Amino acid sequence: MLATLDWIIIILFTTLILGVGISYTNSAGKSLTDYFLGGRKLPWYIAGVSMVATTFAADTPLAVTELVAKNGISGNWLWWNMLAGGLLTTFFFAHLWRRANILTEAEFIELRYSGFPAAFLRGFRAIYLGLIMNALVIGWVNLALMSLLEGFFAIPANETIYYCAGAMSIVAVYASLSGLKGVAITDAIQFTIAMFGCIVLAYFVVSSPEIGGLSELVNKTPDWSRSFFPSIGGVSEAGEVLAIGTGTFLAFAGFSWWSSWYPGAEPGGGGYIAQRMMSAKTEKDAVYATLFFQVAHYCIRPWPWIIVALCAMVIYPNLEDPKLGFVYAMRDYLPAGFKGLLLVAFFGAYMSTISTQLNWGSSYLVNDFYKRFLSKSNENESDKKYVIVGRVCTFILMLFGLFATTKMDSISAVWQFILECSAGLGLVLILRWYWWRINAWSEISATIGAFAVYGICKFLGFYVPYFKDIMVFPNTFFIVIFVTTLIWLVVTYLTQPTEHNHLQAFYERIKPQGNWHPQAQISNTKPNNEQLFYALICWLLAIVLVYSMLFIIGYILFANWQSVMYCGIAILIASIGLRVYLPKSGIV
């Protein structure tokens, strides 16, 4: 299966990654800030590439291949719709996360709220996000790697978990040694190799006798498979352009990007995205890093995968599991050396995601649970001790992730569960930066309320015949959003606001815009909401810019020159608009 040259490439890559991890051991061990935020010294391009690399796991090319096989290029709108939420983070939250000068997103809770509810929420989110949700993410990433091992090496399915455990052990070693800076540097290396490998694969498959070039690919694939846009109001079936019912379209395009908490796409920023923003050298670096992430994530990464997926439709037309078309293309069309390179690319994508999840998750467990609630003498304990605890937590998370992997059999089921059980929480995560009246009970009730309403909907759908056809997606999604929003609004007005002095300190530290009039009067300042208006314009222009960049690459590949011209004009107008209005927004 693999030639000697392939094994040499794999061994050299593993050695390189471990070497980078070891080289940052001393600098990472100086303090918690060095270990979990790279000393807040990451330039925008390293922080941005690290974000992209983290969201490029072993599952992403396989998922795109499956989407294209079922509904063509238009199937990618199931994740392309999240762009608006990502750019919202870029223009409204990136600079605020960096300005907060905190270690984790969970620490923000006690910066923003006060008293017992804030302490409870911080500890809860440390365990809920850092351990439980983290284990679910690690589990689905492991499942994708196991599919790769099974399809490429013909390893029996019940044995792939052991290979996965070995790969995770390597990642845990270098992630525990190097801290975030080492993770970010290895992310840059892994992403470069991964993208180069995917482009190489696309070249070899398109150039194969079965395809015969891009022009022949156009002739050999049905028109519906090359449509960039879904059909709104139809019923989605495999073998046609993605047909999205009106309700489903509204759920994805109108609600999911701002209403649901989802790893890597949290409304208002959060998780490892917030970690990268907080690790940037300056607020400006945080904004540019996040903007670069959106461009690379939506415009640069997908097209090699899409091209391979279209080729796989022609070469392997009757696959029972269509996502394996990408794996079989690697196996059948890459020559010696390049085969090892692309395996390295996949392992690199896997390792960059897992290393981030381990480092980010341990930051919650150490800073927001152990240090906050279990350490008896915070003042007397050195940061070096907490770094040691963080390294131990890295391996604990690895074990939890492996356990979660053994209990999972569907990646898409986990995706939908997370999306629905957090519906309605997103608006609180956004408004807590812009409305002084939001308090800890708002966030607690939104978190618990979403879970409760989701559970009730599922119970009714399973056990009450009348609701069987009603309690299905997207109906359940809208119900959870509406009821959860109602719950947290009622709770907000029935409970006391955050303690006055605490809010005042937050306002003077963060200098937020929006509705902070009571705090602004005391400080004799005024939130500059005109800048908020310009940020809104920049957000809309950036949406046009990034989508136009996404489509222009596809139109160039398929030689649709009229559409290339239209996209080029849109890119030019949006770029000029951003150049004019971005300085007025006050975020850079």
Q: Which two tokens stand for residue 543?
A: 């949406």
CA–CA separation, 254 and 474 (whole Å): 12
Average pLDDT over every residue of 274-303:
94
Asked whether the bond before 474 is cis by omega within 30 degrees of 0, the reply is yes
Average pLDDT over every residue of 297-308:
93
DSSP class per residue in 349-409: HHHHHHHHHHHHHHHIIIIIIIIIII-S-TTTS-HHHHHHHHHHHHHHHHHHHHHHHHT--
Q: Is the pLDDT of residue 13 over 90?
A: no
CA 273 to chain centre: 7
Same domain, 463 and 403: no
pLDDT of residue 342: 81
How do residues 135-176 score in pLDDT, each as one tens digit?
A: 988 988 888 888 878 877 778 888 888 888 988 898 888 888
Whose CA is closest to 350, among 401, 396, 287? 401
pLDDT of residue 110: 96
Same domain, 219 and 362: yes
Q: Which residues pair with 231 in a beta bridge?
A: 243
In a domain, 571, yes or no: no
In a domain, 568, yes or no: no
Element (H, E) at 232: strand 231-232
Given a contact cutoff of 8 angstroms between Cβ atoms, the answer to whether 267 and 257 are in contact is: yes
Q: Is the pLDDT of residue 378 over 60?
A: no
What is the identity of the amino acid at 267?
A: P
pLDDT of residue 241: 53
Task: Provide the b/e sequence for 404-433 (b: ≥16 CB within 10 Å).
Answer: bbeeeeebeebbeebbbbbbbbbbbbbbbb
| Helix (H/G/I), strand (E/B), else coil: 83 | helix
Average pLDDT over every residue of 490-509:
95
pLDDT of residue 413: 63
Given a contact cutoff of 8 angstroms between Cβ atoms, the answer to whether 48 and 401 are in contact is: no
| Helix (H/G/I), strand (E/B), else coil: 334 | coil
Same domain, 410 and 456: no
Same domain, 304 and 269: yes
The residue behind tokens 């792939």 is: 160
Element (H, E) at 507: helix 500-510
For CA atoms 268, 271, 273, 276, the dihedral sign is: positive
| Helix (H/G/I), strand (E/B), else coil: 558 | coil
How do residues 424-442 score in pLDDT, each as one tens digit?
A: 888 999 999 999 999 999 9
Looking at 432, 467, 495, the residue that finishes a domain is 495
Cα angle value 302/304/310 (rounded, 5°): 95
Same domain, 290 and 377: yes
pLDDT of residue 341: 83
CATH of the domain at 246: 1.20.1730.10
Cα angle value 81/512/259 (rounded, 5°): 25
pTM comes to 0.89
CA–CA separation, 395 and 177 (whole Å): 11
Mean pLDDT over each residue of the chain, to the nearest integer? 87
What are the CB-based long-range contacts (under 8 Å, 24+) for 316-323?
319/69, 322/65, 322/66, 322/69, 322/70, 323/62, 323/63, 323/65, 323/66, 323/69, 323/147
CA–CA separation, 106 and 97 (whole Å): 12
How many domains does one find in the chain? 2
| Helix (H/G/I), strand (E/B), else coil: 56 | coil
Tell me what percent of the chain is helix, strand and coil, each rounded to the nearest 5. 75, 0, 20
pLDDT of residue 58: 72
CA distances from 247 to 140, 167, 395, 450 (A): 27, 41, 43, 20
In a domain, 410, yes or no: yes
In a domain, 564, yes or no: no
In a domain, 517, yes or no: no
Phi, psi of 558 (to 5 degrees): -100, 10
How do residues 388-429 score in pLDDT, each as one tens digit?
A: 999 999 999 999 999 988 887 766 666 667 777 788 888 999
% pLDDT > 90, the chain: 45
CA 61 to chain centre: 15
Whose CA is closest to 114, among 401, 480, 424, 498? 498
Task: Provide the b/e sequence for 357-371 (b: ≥16 CB within 10 Å).
Answer: bbbbbbbbbbbbbbb
How do residues 59-83 score in pLDDT, each as one tens digit?
A: 788 888 988 988 889 888 878 888 9
* 3 state SS for 23-56: HCHHHHCCCHHHHHHHHHCECHHHHHHHHHHHHC
Given a contact cutoff of 8 angstroms between Cβ atoms, the answer to whether 345 and 330 are in contact is: no
Alpha helical stretches, state H, 239-320 = 246-249, 257-259, 271-279, 283-295, 302-315
In a domain, 551, yes or no: no
Same domain, 393 and 429: no
In a domain, 97, yes or no: yes
Same domain, 90 and 171: yes
**Which stretch of 15-29, 77-91, 225-239, 465-479 has the lowest confidence by average pLDDT?**
225-239
DSSP class per residue in 457-500: HHHHHHH-GGGTTTSSTTHHHHHHHHHHHHHHHHHHHHSPPSPH
As a whole number of angstroms, the longest Cα–Cα distance in the chain is 74
Phi, psi of 192 (to 5 degrees): -60, -45
| Helix (H/G/I), strand (E/B), else coil: 266 | coil
Rg of the chain's alpha carbons, rounded to an integer?
Answer: 24
**Which stretch of 18-22, 50-54, 160-164, 297-301 has the lowest confidence by average pLDDT?**
18-22
Same domain, 220 and 299: yes
In a domain, 544, yes or no: no
- Select the more confidently predicted residue: 164 or 504: 504
pLDDT of residue 245: 52
CA–CA separation, 362 and 396 (whole Å): 9
* 3 state SS for 189-208: HHHHHHHHHHHHHHHHHHCC
What confidence category does residue 211 fall into, taking pLDDT thresholds of 50, 70 and 90? Answer: very high
Element (H, E) at 244: strand 243-244
CA–CA separation, 14 and 204 (whole Å): 25
Same domain, 417 and 433: no
CA–CA separation, 117 and 498 (whole Å): 10
Same domain, 417 and 445: no
Given a contact cutoff of 8 angstroms between Cβ atoms, the answer to whether 214 and 317 are in contact is: no
Looking at 467, 495, 523, the residue that finishes a domain is 495
Q: Work out the number of other CB atoms within 10 angstroms of the CB of residue 241.
A: 22
Looking at 400, 421, 442, the residue that finishes a domain is 421
Same domain, 223 and 90: yes
| N-to-C CA span, the chain | 52
Range of the domain at 135: 4-421
Interstrand relation of 243-244 and 231-232 (parallel, antiparallel or unpaired): parallel
* Size (the chain), residues: 588
Same domain, 445 and 409: no
